[in-house]
Amino acid sequence: MSVNILGIESSCDDTSAAVISDGLLRSNVIASQKVHEAYGGVVPELASRAHQENIVPVVSEALKRAGIDKTELTAIAFTRGPGLLGSLLVGTSFAKGMAIGLDIPLLDVNHLHAHVLSHFIRQKEDDEVPEFPFLCLLVSGGNSQIVVVRSAYDMEIVGKTIDDAAGEAFDKCAKVMGLPYPGGPHIDRLAAEGNPKAFRFSKPHIPGLDYSFSGLKTSFLYTLRDRLKEDPEFIEKNKADLAASLQATIIAILIDKLKKALEAYPVKSIAIGGGVSANSGVRKAVEEFCLRHGVRAWIPERAFTTDNAAMVATAGYFKYLEKDFCDLSLPPFSRVTV
């Protein structure tokens, strides 16, 4: 009898549901929220309301595409945290109610843990997955971490941001440039047309493997302030070069720490995950870094870099195999590390 896992993701502004059967992805449905674009960032109350509207049709569509009836589900995996508490409450409550109604077990999933395990999403039997141990560069709007992944249950954060995350730096600088939210994809698009050496922004000197992006953000803002005094059209005239220089600086910071991590923790593979791993420059830089250092690069499909339920269902499948079920009394949580 097949093991059918329904995954539910609602940590921020994407409502997603996916079905995995015996470890293979059968469906992955995502409903994105456009309502936040007018505000230049995610509004938590609006996000939770949109989740309430989206979750039933999204789950129904995921089951339909997978060709699975709800009565055939073996367990339900859901993102318990970290994330926006109101958004998490919607997904958590729905998962609990459905599990009670079907009398099947629950599997609580750490959102960051799921991003790391997104490389184990298999769509075909012969799809390759990383061998343990490996390093994972986890970069998103809220987190920048280097994780030593020894198994699906044994992960150690060896480096993390001490202030802003890489995705935050992209989005905040993009907002100042007048780019739509989310700014990261627009920076990526413009960077392809610009000169990465046109402007120099400050780089942090943080010991060890920890990151910092607040100084870069401040340097970027001061550059704009000073140049705008001389030329009010400065941003419009230099958008591509600003984007290219910003992206190049962020990538240099990420790769510098990744190099130190590989020296401290020699492995045969390096993976990237999280929303910023969709960035073209980051993907290319990690591939080139791995090629230079003789390690294998694991670059996820772009569909699995942002928040999605496929990675939640995959992480849940690992927990199901260990019979690591979740008690109905456990609440969602807004902050935690892997």
pLDDT digits (tens, 9 = 90+) for 155-209: 999 999 999 899 999 999 999 999 988 889 999 999 999 999 999 999 998 999 9
Look at residue 35 and tell me whether its pLDDT is greater than 80.
no
Give the per-residue pLDDT at 96: 98
Residue that the structure tokens 């230079």 belong to: 292
Convert the pLDDT of each residue in 311-320 to its tens digit: 999 999 999 9
Which of 26-35, 177-186, 298-307 has the least mean pLDDT? 26-35
Which letter, b or e, does each residue of 173-208 get, where b requires 16 or more Cβ atoms within 10 Å of its Cβ? bbeebebebbbbbbbbebbeebebeebebebbebee
Report d(CA 61, CA 29) in Å as an integer.
7
Decide: pTM greater than 0.85: yes
Helix (H) / strand (E) element for 27: namely strand 24-32
Residue 27 exposure: Cα atoms within 13 Å on the Cβ side: 23
Q: Which DSSP state fits 332?
A: P
Give the per-residue pLDDT at 216: 94
Give the per-residue pLDDT at 133: 98
